[in-house]
């Protein structure tokens, strides 16, 4: 039977504020490249950043009735994450849903499926990450589930997991592992800033990272 769970456990707000300051690429590195959504799931416009706890939605192909319900349940700062089965021929939503979400203070929408009304969404700069864009609208014929484990972009997503998205894509930080991932990501960000400083001083990354020795180990020969 279709299921709606109204209450979820959300991460500490300070934790999410810290993740917001870190690029998605470094969070992905901190998780050893795991929990990064499919490269086709991209933002509808540049200069976007979202970070918030997941409200998960599993829809039947071409249906969007559960997304409407999820927006009612969601709280300010949440991210609606939709398993649309990767279907790209029917948009699961558009500007009206985004307007609903924006008015409630929902941080953004991530959908493994298609979306539409791109012009209005870009004009309003409301964050939507989607697999495809198509004008065909959805139906309301089959119920799905809210706040159960889903998959989105090939990654398992549980209610309350931290969703972070920017121009590079979307990562999912499991709520139980968030503090460990944050510590690793902060260290990586500090290290990267040090490398940037050295590059600005005229040093080359092949020397900074010690790649010359690595090339020798890999059996690469150099010739004049």
Report how far residue 112's alpha carbon sits from residue 6's, in angstroms, rounded to the nearest whole number.
22
Q: Give residue 192's pLDDT band: very low, low, confident or very high (50, 70, 90).
A: very high
DSSP E strands in 73-189: the ranges are: 79-83, 108-115, 128-133, 145-146, 150-152, 155-157, 162-166, 169-173
pLDDT in tens, 56-99: 999 999 999 999 999 999 999 999 999 999 999 999 999 999 99
- pLDDT at residue 138, rounded to an integer: 96
Whether residue 87 contacts residue 116, with contact meaning beta carbons closer than 8 Å, is answered with no
Q: Give residue 27's pLDDT band: very low, low, confident or very high (50, 70, 90).
A: very high
What's the average model confidence in pLDDT over 186-202? 97
CA distances from 56 to 12, 145, 159, 188 (A): 18, 8, 6, 29
- CA terminus-to-terminus distance, the chain: 70
CA distances from 125 to 107, 137, 165 (A): 11, 21, 14
Calculate what percentage of the chain has a pLDDT beyond 70. Answer: 100
How many helices (DSSP H) and strands (DSSP E) are in the chain? 8, 10
Report how far residue 133's alpha carbon sits from residue 44's, in angstroms, rounded to the nearest whole number.
9
Q: Where are the domains of the chain?
A: 13-182, 187-217
- pLDDT at residue 213, rounded to an integer: 94
Q: Which CATH architecture has domain 13-182?
A: 3-Layer(bba) Sandwich (3.50)
- pLDDT at residue 49, rounded to an integer: 97
State the pTM of this model.
0.95
């Amino acid at each position: 039977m279709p299921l709606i769970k109204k209450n979820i456990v959300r991460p500490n707000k300070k934790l999410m504020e810290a993740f917001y300051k870190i690029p998605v690429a470094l969070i992905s590195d901190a998780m050893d490249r795991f929990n990064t959504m499919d490269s086709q799931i991209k933002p509808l416009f540049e200069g976007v950043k979202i970070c918030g706890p997941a409200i998960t939605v599993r829809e039947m192909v071409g249906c969007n009735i559960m997304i409407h319900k999820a927006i009612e349940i969601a709280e300010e700062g949440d991210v609606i994450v939709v398993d649309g089965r990767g279907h790209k021929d029917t948009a699961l939503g558009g500007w009206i849903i985004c307007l609903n979400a924006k008015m409630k203070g929902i941080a953004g929408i991530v959908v493994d499926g298609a979306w539409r009304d791109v012009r209005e969404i870009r004009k309003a700069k409301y964050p939507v990450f989607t697999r495809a864009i198509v004008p065909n609208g959805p139906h309301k014929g089959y119920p799905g589930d809210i706040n159960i484990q889903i998959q989105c972009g090939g990654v398992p997503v549980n209610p309350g997991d931290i969703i972070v998205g920017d121009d590079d894509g979307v990562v999912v930080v499991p709520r139980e592992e968030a503090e460990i991932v944050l510590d690793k990501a902060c260290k990586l960000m500090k290290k990267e800033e040090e490398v940037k400083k050295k590059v600005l001083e005229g040093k080359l990354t092949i020397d900074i990272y010690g790649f010359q020795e690595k090339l020798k180990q890999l059996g690469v020969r150099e010739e004049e």
